[in-house]
């Protein structure tokens, strides 16, 4: 088998493994579970910015995945309280919050026809 194809297969397997881990995380699962409702609302409101709003929601999922990476890495290093550990986790959480805030603002602007 071609080494590039083998590399692609392994990378795909690693990604699937990562998705399996993510879906077990409460916050990520909740955000995935909410996604169909978001799609229904976008359909019902017939918003002109549907694709932008869907991609904005996907940004939340990506940010949550990166936040989970930060939390896992910090916990791997040490579970003992440390100001830098708290800072890293808080910043990761803030990134998720910013992504959610971005989606929420864009959603409201689209509903009120400002976009």
- Tell me the torsion sign for CA atoms 59, 96, 107, 29: positive
Q: What is the pLDDT of residue 115?
A: 65
**Which tens digit of pLDDT belongs to each residue from 39-64?**
898 888 877 788 889 999 999 999 99
CB atoms under 10 Å from CB of 36, counted, come to 9
Q: Are 99 and 63 spatial neighbours (Cβ–Cβ below 8 Å)? A: yes
Q: Which CATH class is domain 26-111?
A: mainly alpha
Q: Which of 25, 31, 64, 71 is catalytic?
A: 64
Percent of the chain with pLDDT over 90: 77
- Tell me the torsion sign for CA atoms 92, 96, 98, 99: positive
- Is residue 83 part of the annotated active site? The answer reads no
């Amino acid at each position: 088998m071609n080494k590039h194809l083998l590399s692609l297969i392994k990378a795909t397997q690693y990604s699937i493994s990562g998705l399996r881990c993510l879906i077990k995380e409460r916050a990520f699962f909740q955000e995935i579970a909410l996604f169909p409702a978001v799609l229904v609302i976008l359909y019902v409101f017939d918003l002109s910015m549907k694709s932008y709003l869907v991609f904005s929601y996907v940004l939340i999922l990506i940010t949550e995945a990166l936040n989970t990476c930060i939390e896992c890495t910090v916990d791997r290093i040490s579970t003992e309280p440390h100001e830098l550990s708290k800072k890293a986790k808080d910043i990761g959480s803030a990134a998720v919050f910013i992504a959610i805030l971005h989606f929420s603002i864009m959603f409201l602007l689209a509903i009120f026809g400002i976009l």
